[in-house]
Amino acid sequence: MRRPYLYLFLSLFLSSLACTLGVAPRSVLTPATTLAPSATPSQTVTARLTATLTLATSAPTQTQSFTPTPTLIPAPSLALTSPLPLLGGGAGQIVYHSGPTGEEEIYLLTLGSQQPPVNLTNLIGADISPRWSPDSNQIAFVSDRDGDRDIYVMTADGRTVINLTNNAVADDSPAWSPDGQFITFSSERDGNRELYRMLSDGANVTRLTNDLAFDQFPTYSPDGAQIVFSSNRDGNPEIYVMGADGTEVQRLTEDPADDYYPAWSPDGTFIVWASNRDSGAFDLFKLTLGTNALQNLTNNRAQDASPIFSPDGTLLLFDSNREGNYEIYILDLASLGVTRVTNSSGFDASGDWRP
């Protein structure tokens, strides 16, 4: 497979029309197993999405130069007057990939700023799926700049880049452990797509799963003890959880539809993922651990995918084609209001919040 799994159903996504956002009533999911929360719920923080949001416009450019020369936008300080950089906690910045399929670049955007997004990679090929390290000093990402998809890390300004996997098969879906010690990822190096773990410098690669299915899109629990992921080992893509060492695999969802891109809330109490179980279009769903309460968070006929929690857990970053082109959006988990963040002619997707 030469592209991330998102592109396996990209043709399905591009055929759908964006519709009016709604909220579905709560229902109850009966999974194969019941998982207890991994952390104590934290106090809910009410976030405010204001009409002052400046849409990020980017026109990704390419160059024959193989030396990235980005300019880093400094993280905003508490003195900033715009409330948007403070929404969601953290530094008020996101990274995401944008551009035509196969020519994506990784961009850094400061929320609420008048500055355009900064191209951190600026190389020929596809640079996708950026993920901040827990200390926000590095970004793991996927690139085919050396001929096949590998896992790379770069400094936050994009100037220093290291290939961590450097082999002849496809590696993708990087996920940092909460302590920054490990990166878990998906790879085809043993013939089919499995999950592997390595030290953050690329050493000591360990295979975590071992079956004939496609295991992908790993995400750590907040305490680092478990990993949630998507797998089709039981016939169709479902959400599973296992210990961080690959043991004690449990199935969380059981539906004939497809479940992808799981994300674990910072307080450990629920998991969000993308599924086409309600209308055939992909929506974002929330599963409360311990009670198995299921909620459709977006409920529209567009394609919504790749949810990522803000550092304080009050917001979700996701990508959607609800307005025609794939852009980055923010979902307020309290009100379920949606605000668009980017506005470009490229394919904007796979966003991540800077801690």
Each residue of 260-285: pLDDT tens digit? 999 999 999 999 999 999 989 999 99
Dist. CA 260–CA 177, nearest whole Å: 20
Q: In what order do the strands lie in the sheet with 161-163?
A: 127-132, 138-143, 150-155, 161-163
Tens-digit pLDDT profile for residues 279-294 = 899 999 999 999 999 9
Hey, what are 199's tokens?
Answer: 């030290």
Q: Is 63 left (phi over 0), alpha (psi -120 to 50) or beta?
A: beta
pLDDT at 47: 38
Dist. CA 6–CA 81, nearest whole Å: 37
262, 239 contact by CB (below 8 A): yes
The per-residue pLDDT of the chain, averaged, comes to: 82
Higher pLDDT among residues 253 and 54, named by residue? 253
Closest residue by Cα to residue 260 from 224, 307, 301: 307
Q: Which range in 17-26, 52-61, 157-166 is most confidently predicted, on average pLDDT?
A: 157-166
Does position 33 have pLDDT exceeding 80, yes or no? no
pLDDT at 23: 36
Contacts of 308 by beta carbon, 8 Å cutoff, 6+ apart: 263, 316, 317, 318, 351, 352, 353
Does position 142 have pLDDT exceeding 90, yes or no? yes
Give the C-alpha distances (Å, rounded to integers) separating 352 from 142, 213, 263: 14, 27, 11
Does position 171 have pLDDT exceeding 80, yes or no? yes
Tens-digit pLDDT profile for residues 71-127 = 333 332 222 233 454 578 888 999 999 998 889 999 999 998 888 999 999 988 899
* pLDDT level of residue 332 (50, 70, 90 thresholds): very high
pLDDT at 88: 85
Angle, CA 204 vertex, CA 200 and CA 209 arms, to 5°:
95
pLDDT at 56: 55
pLDDT at 3: 39
Dist. CA 170–CA 245, nearest whole Å: 22
Higher pLDDT among residues 57 and 28, named by residue? 57
pLDDT at 91: 86
Q: Which range in 43-57, 73-87, 228-242 is most confidently predicted, on average pLDDT?
A: 228-242
57, 325 contact by CB (below 8 A): no
Q: Which long-range contacts (CB under 8 A, 24 or more apart) does 255-260 make?
A: 255/29, 258/9, 259/230, 260/5, 260/217, 260/230, 260/305
pTM for this entry: 0.79
Q: Is 313 left (phi over 0), alpha (psi -120 to 50) or beta?
A: left
* pLDDT level of residue 8 (50, 70, 90 thresholds): very low
Domains and CATH numbers, the chain: 5-353 (2.120.10.30)
Q: What average pLDDT does this structure show over 296-314?
A: 96
Q: What average pLDDT does this structure show over 231-235?
A: 95
Does position 164 have pLDDT exceeding 90, yes or no? yes
Least confident of 79-83, 145-149, 171-175: 79-83
pLDDT at 85: 47
Tens-digit pLDDT profile for residues 179-224 = 999 999 999 999 899 999 999 999 999 999 999 999 999 999 999 9
Angle, CA 111 vertex, CA 354 and CA 307 arms, to 5°:
55
